[in-house]
Structure 1
Amino acid sequence: MALSLSFFPVLSMLLLALSRVAGAATVVYDFNITWVRANPDGLYERPTIGINGQWPLPVMTATINDTIVVNVDNQLGNQTTTIHFHGMFQNGTTDMDGPNQVTQCGIAPGSQFTYNFTVKQAGTYWYHSHYYGQYPDGLRAPFIISDPDYPYKGQFDEELVLSVSDWYHQEMRVLIPKFLSKANPTGAEPIPQAALFNDTQNLTVTVQPGKTYLIHLVNVGAFAGQYIWFEGHNMTIVEVDGVYTDEAEAEMIYISPAQRYSFMVTTKNETSTNYAFIGSMDTTLFDKIPNGLNWNVTGWLVYDSAKPLPTPALVDKFNDFDDFDLVPYDKKPLLPDPDQTITLDVMMGVLGDGKPYAFFQNISYVSQKVPTLYTVMSTGENATNPAVYGEFSNSFVLGHNQINEIVVNNHDSGKHPFHLHGHNFQVIARSEEQAGDFDPSNSSQTDYPAIPMRRDTITLNPNGNLVFRFASDNPGVWLFHCHIEWHMDQGLVATMVEAPLEIQKSLTIPQDHFDACRAANIPYAGNAAGNTIDVLDLAGANAPPGPLPAGFTTRGIVALVFSCISALLGLAVISWYGSVDMGAANKATEQQRIAEMNQPESHELVSPATTVVEAPEAETDTKTETEIEMER
């Protein structure tokens, strides 16, 4: 299976995949993680997290049954990191899943860490940091796993890799404290400054007439779902989130953060015109649309480079494909009635510190003092008691090889793309918007499909509900969370502790895991509070602030906060007028005006490989990661 260099930069490792014969191999990646500088939308250069001095990052590739070894050297200097291989089941290697304080301690600056696992699945995946909202700073890229027995082999001529994302001009360590702030009690998420294809804009893709291209599409963004369409061409969907599907024709798809699609596009038999393809951010997610925001990103299928690149046509409405209608290629039937049902109500609100939080069943997730997997490994028979993992890890213990049903009710007016680590799941019910909570006594809500759609990330509609099932046949510690990064930072996370006694029997934690904990001075044994003597004593476990005082509503705290802000601004203005050097102020204003005039009005076509690799200077006046987390 071949992947084209035309759709993503730095794909040299794909050529290695071409040269390997089918069968198991060991694929080694050495990742030196550093700061570089980048300007993907042509409007603002900023520090960005690169690998081996490069950004955009390399596309990882492998063949099913290969062993993947990723040697990480964290040379960021001022930030810890981890890597999560999104969508990988990690069968037997839950310790390689990557979430900070869940299956490992973070990799401290100057430290090394090795991920080592075997891929037992094929399809479209990606890798990204799973450390305190870090991946929108650049540490994310696709991961494509080929399959010698691919069911649509022979039906396409070439493979292409395409990522879509939103992009922020400020670093997350600046944005997160502003977002999780008393000054933002409504939890209005930061609005991205741009949308990108393959971490750039104005992407051009050379195609040949009369050929069929298999396109692997990944949304590596932090916030915005995106509508995707190719003018003059239909898409034939054949995979979602690593699950092969029956062929399904679509004019347009909606892809939430963390979701993946593979689809075939057949080009026309003539070269008279080039065609635009578009990504359009879902602006219904935004509290407001800033002046001047371009929420679209455009690329072009180039049949003839001598012909112009057409302006995309206006779209009257979004007519996107409903992924609930997809049928898995393997025709796996509906799982039996569940052994365990977990109901999770999604809520957004304010706690006693006046800051915005997100909740499952009134619990806002807080990472614990001991990574949850290490608590599994060090609490013996008590590992089956969810209490040892801490109330605010939001942990649920699942029995081995049982059928689990998760009901998610959305008490929020926004969409939420929910992702389960370690599994894909059967989506057996999903309501439209404003449908309210799931009612199992309502036969119209329990008319489940005989062959349900499966994927690992599913979008929950505003004030709606969804139901999914999976078998707990993969012992491990697996997060379930919203993949809008802001909502995860707010605590919209639960922990599935699957067959903990089986984990104890089969797993040995590598030494470099413990070395990473020592480097960061993090305990790696005992319950959530680090208690190794009485593991049912959770005194000292991490917890969010207490609730608001009785009768104190969110609306009330909003009014109080903005009244205080208004008063402070008024005092500041009075003080400024009394002390400012007006000449200096006028000079500063003129300098700003000139700087704005010098900004480019448009961004010319750029090569996706364009990267500047100058390391940023350390910022001494920003809060540390520990301070940010402790404020929560």
Structure 2
Amino acid sequence: MLKLLTYCLLVVPRIVTGLTTHEYNFTTGWVQANPDGMHEKQMIGFNGEWPIPDIHVNTGDRVIIRLTNGFEDLPTSLHFHGLFQNISKGNSNHMDGPQMVTQCPIQPGDTFVYNFTVPDQVGTYWYHSHSGSQYTDGMRAAFIIHDKDEPFKYDEELVLQVSDLYHKPYYEVTDEFLSRYNPTGAEPIPQNILFNNTVNASIAFEPNKAYLLRLLNVGNFVSQYIYMEDHDFTIVEVDGVYVKPNVTNLLYLSVGQRVSVLVHSKKNDGKNYALMQAMDVTMLDVVPAELQLNRTIQVFYNPSVEKATQYYLNDFSSCTNDFYLTPYDEQELYDDYDYQIKLDVRMDNLGDGVNYAFFNNISYVAPRVPTLVTAVTAPEALVKNPFIYGDNVNAFVLEYGEVIEVVVNNYDDGRHPFHLHGHNFQIIQKSPSFAELENGDPGEPVPYNESSPLNTFPEEPMRRDTVVMEGNGHIVLRFKANNPGIWMFHCHVDWHLEQGLAAVFIEAPLELRKTEALTDNFKQVCSSGNIPLKGNAAGHADDWYNMEGLPRQPNQLPEGFTFKGYVAFAVSTAVALIGLYTITQYGVNEIPQDDELLYNKLKKVLEDAGETIE
């Protein structure tokens, strides 16, 4: 009871100058839990408890979080997903949180203070670790900004989080994934999906009421479908952007995405209903027989009557396409762009045998100095030179006030949800998938053709901060560079981020330097990690053109060693071992060779490797 009282006292808001300041003291640590009832594991909690708390604030409120790293041997950090941290509104870029981008990683025993306001944003967001794949193990929760002027009415709201679950700790899964023994780059298959951090969740509805459901996918990898039996969803908010009401019965949420819907309950309580969550199975390289692909959550009107039965959908084609939603404020399309960034997505192996992810053949590798530190300490004459930020991070320098167009072409047949820090973007093109032809054969990439776009540009394009790019397809996004700072653009499948699928936008660095100051707390945390407080990406401040020691991706595969080469080598080795085994058996046992059996074994080895035998 004393522990609970202390915890509550830490999160009670206090009033300052008419607004509310919400103060939290959080210490990270491992907490024994069993989220799916099938496997006990260590989850990442705050102050000895997991799940970590959702945060609710109002527009204009201040948030102060003192995050102490309670791990013994892991760094940590916090990112407030979707929050702009706009310096023109009194905030600081280093409140954004990704380690080695806008802050140094918080070392064990250290405390970093996140102190910011939410002056003009509303809606559904979340906060999570931005250190490795740490949030996979539960260091994430909702961050809701309430608005007294919402353009819709409801009686009650519910915050509903979906996620995926891995039974092994995130760092073990990461090591197995980024391994030469996984040359195809097959993403780790989760062992389960969760609803509000459990498999035993339910929702209570009262008859004849309007509910606002705030749905968030806070998982690492798998997108999910959401369907409620015999109820409609009216979409009213997406990623913190109000939209004109759009009625659907099926939602799709990639990791990082949020959507708020109105649901009107039935007029009587004579029946309970099913809410279904289902994995996007197309994202899985293989589907283990024991993997449960969908779950049924009870929507209880009356617990005393029969429960809803397990619910399945055979067709997901009616899912709403966010490209066709319209923002409530009717913001018009930016007429043209001032600067276009083209990013080609590829996945390939490098010289260490590991499969990496690339923008324009560059796989992101964190610099020795946070990119923000380089931006605020560089000589003014060099601050707009992308060279000083390193050739290892996909650095793009943006001028203040420019309209930026980001073209992303997918040369991979998988879906990728891309997230931009510090901004919402207009979605002006979003292709369908070209991963598979109608006859089932593999498709070919279709990059964006500026002279002949697939769709007419919308007059009032949808805005959000996380958008799904389809396999072999493309997306085109626009935003205005009016928020000086260092902002990541990356795939929010965290495994892909770990593979290096990220870029960094250095936005209006001259304007950033006018107000951005490194606090004593910032400097102390960097010093604890022996990270320089001045210098280029390689940590050199005496010669800003010296990139000696810059962390970079591994070298390319030697000439002739391709993925097919590895497969051929593996097949040849397997064939040789079968041959040796056969010779040994023949010599020891003096039995006749079974040619048909040998043929079938060889055929299976080749088929497993994707080859055929003539």
Scaled by the length of structure 2, what TM-score is found? 0.88
| Change in 2 beyond 3 A, CA 1:521/1:447 | same
How far the C-alpha of 1:69 sits from its partner, in A, is 0.5
Letter of the 2:36 counterpart: D
- Equivalenced residue count is 561
Q: What is residue 405 of structure 1 aligned with on the other side?
A: 405
Q: What is residue 379 of structure 1 aligned with on the other side?
A: 378
Letter of the 1:311 counterpart: T
User: Partners of 1:68 and 1:344 in 2: how far apart?
Assistant: 35
Q: What is residue 88 of structure 1 aligned with on the other side?
A: 83
Letter of the 1:122 counterpart: V
User: Partners of 2:9 and 2:225 in 1: how far apart?
Assistant: 28
Tell me if structure 2 keeps the 8 A contact 1:22–1:148: no
How far the C-alpha of 1:20 sits from its partner, in A, is 7.5
**Which 5+ residue runs of structure 1 have no aligned equivalent?**
1-8, 573-632
2:25 maps to 1:30? yes
Q: What is residue 428 of structure 2 aligned with on the other side?
A: 428
Letter of the 2:40 counterpart: E
Q: What is residue 327 of structure 2 aligned with on the other side?
A: 328
Q: What is residue 369 of structure 1 aligned with on the other side?
A: 368
| Change in 2 beyond 3 A, CA 1:563/1:165 | farther
User: Partners of 1:183 and 1:566 in 2: how far apart?
Assistant: 19
Letter of the 2:228 counterpart: F
How far the C-alpha of 1:211 sits from its partner, in A, is 0.3
User: Partners of 1:264 and 1:13 in 2: how far apart?
Assistant: 31
User: Partners of 1:141 and 1:206 in 2: how far apart?
Assistant: 21
Letter of the 2:194 counterpart: L
Deviations 1:375-432 (A, max 9, x none): 0011122110011011011100000011000000000010000000000000001111
After superposing the two structures, state which structure 1 stretch, 283-292 or 442-451, moved more: 442-451
Q: What is residue 147 of structure 1 aligned with on the other side?
A: 147
How far the C-alpha of 1:557 sits from its partner, in A, is 2.1
Tell me if structure 2 keeps the 8 A contact 1:106–1:516: yes
After superposing the two structures, state which structure 1 stretch, 403-412 or 17-26, moved more: 17-26
Name the SS for the 1:181 alignment partner: coil
User: Partners of 2:507 and 2:231 in 1: how far apart?
Assistant: 44
Q: What is residue 221 of structure 1 aligned with on the other side?
A: 219
2:106 maps to 1:107? yes
Equivalences for 1:208-607 in 2 at 5 Å? 208-318=206-316, 319-381=318-380, 382-434=382-434, 436-445=445-454, 447-560=456-569
User: Partners of 2:218 and 2:488 in 1: how far apart?
Assistant: 18
| Change in 2 beyond 3 A, CA 1:380/1:175 | same
User: Partners of 2:576 and 2:526 in 1: how far apart?
Assistant: 46
How far the C-alpha of 1:320 sits from its partner, in A, is 0.9
Deviations 1:449-506 (A, max 9, x none): 0000000000000000010100000000000000001100000000000001111111
Tell me if structure 1 keeps the 8 A contact 2:133–2:170: yes
| Change in 2 beyond 3 A, CA 1:419/1:561 | farther
How far the C-alpha of 1:18 sits from its partner, in A, is 10
User: Partners of 2:157 and 2:76 in 1: how far apart?
Assistant: 31
Deviations 1:300-352 (A, max 9, x none): 11000111222233322112111111100000000121000000000000001
Letter of the 1:27 counterpart: H
| Change in 2 beyond 3 A, CA 1:482/1:441 | closer
How far the C-alpha of 1:268 sits from its partner, in A, is 0.0
User: Partners of 1:21 and 1:316 in 2: how far apart?
Assistant: 53
Letter of the 1:100 counterpart: Q
Tell me if structure 1 keeps the 8 A contact 2:410–2:447: no
Deviations 1:104-158 (A, max 9, x none): 1111111111001111311000000000111101101111010111111xx2100
Name the SS for the 1:380 alignment partner: coil
| Change in 2 beyond 3 A, CA 1:184/1:380 | same
Letter of the 2:355 counterpart: P
Q: What is residue 74 of structure 2 aligned with on the other side?
A: 79
How far the C-alpha of 1:284 sits from its partner, in A, is 0.6
Tell me if structure 2 keeps the 8 A contact 1:33–1:72: yes
Letter of the 2:232 counterpart: N
Tell me if structure 2 keeps the 8 A contact 1:157–1:211: yes
User: Partners of 2:17 and 2:528 in 1: how far apart?
Assistant: 40
Deviations 1:179-219 (A, max 9, x none): 11010010001100000000001211221000010011110
- Structure with bigger gyration radius: 2
Letter of the 1:88 counterpart: L
User: Partners of 2:15 and 2:156 in 1: how far apart?
Assistant: 18
After superposing the two structures, state which structure 1 stretch, 507-516 or 431-440, moved more: 431-440
| Change in 2 beyond 3 A, CA 1:492/1:267 | same
Tell me if structure 1 keeps the 8 A contact 2:10–2:24: no
User: Partners of 2:225 and 2:390 in 1: how far apart?
Assistant: 39
| Change in 2 beyond 3 A, CA 1:125/1:441 | closer
Letter of the 1:552 counterpart: F
User: Partners of 1:570 and 1:78 in 2: how far apart?
Assistant: 48
How far the C-alpha of 1:94 sits from its partner, in A, is 1.0
User: Partners of 1:298 and 1:22 in 2: how far apart?
Assistant: 46
Tell me if structure 2 keeps the 8 A contact 1:182–1:561: no
Tell me if structure 2 keeps the 8 A contact 1:24–1:64: no
Letter of the 1:202 counterpart: N
Name the SS for the 2:433 alignment partner: coil
Q: 1:200 aligns with which of 198, 207, 214?
A: 198
Q: What is residue 592 of structure 2 aligned with on the other side?
A: none
| Change in 2 beyond 3 A, CA 1:566/1:36 | farther
Tell me if structure 2 keeps the 8 A contact 1:375–1:389: yes
User: Partners of 2:522 and 2:30 in 1: how far apart?
Assistant: 24
| Change in 2 beyond 3 A, CA 1:123/1:183 | same
Name the SS for the 2:496 alignment partner: helix
Name the SS for the 1:487 alignment partner: helix
| Change in 2 beyond 3 A, CA 1:504/1:26 | same
Name the SS for the 2:505 alignment partner: strand
Letter of the 2:343 counterpart: L
Name the SS for the 1:501 alignment partner: helix
Q: What is residue 170 of structure 2 aligned with on the other side?
A: 172
After superposing the two structures, state which structure 1 stretch, 489-498 or 76-85, moved more: 76-85
| Change in 2 beyond 3 A, CA 1:444/1:538 | closer
| Change in 2 beyond 3 A, CA 1:138/1:565 | farther
Letter of the 2:273 counterpart: Y
How far the C-alpha of 1:528 sits from its partner, in A, is 0.4
Tell me if structure 1 keeps the 8 A contact 2:448–2:474: no
| Change in 2 beyond 3 A, CA 1:15/1:79 | closer
How far the C-alpha of 1:14 sits from its partner, in A, is 13
Aligned-residue RMSD, C-alpha: 2.4
How far the C-alpha of 1:54 sits from its partner, in A, is 1.1
Name the SS for the 1:392 alignment partner: coil
User: Partners of 1:503 and 1:571 in 2: how far apart?
Assistant: 67
User: Partners of 1:316 and 1:236 in 2: how far apart?
Assistant: 22
Larger RCO (alpha carbons 8 Å, 6+ apart): 1
User: Partners of 2:75 and 2:157 in 1: how far apart?
Assistant: 35
How far the C-alpha of 1:552 sits from its partner, in A, is 2.4
2:60 maps to 1:62? no
Equivalences for 1:12-23 in 2 at 5 Å? none
How far the C-alpha of 1:550 sits from its partner, in A, is 2.5
Q: What is residue 129 of structure 1 aligned with on the other side?
A: 129
How far the C-alpha of 1:252 sits from its partner, in A, is 0.3
User: Partners of 1:151 and 1:34 in 2: how far apart?
Assistant: 40
Identity of aligned residues (%): 47
How far the C-alpha of 1:61 sits from its partner, in A, is 1.1
User: Partners of 1:117 and 1:562 in 2: how far apart?
Assistant: 57
Equivalences for 1:591-630 in 2 at 5 Å? none
User: Partners of 2:390 and 2:244 in 1: how far apart?
Assistant: 43
Tell me if structure 2 keeps the 8 A contact 1:203–1:298: no
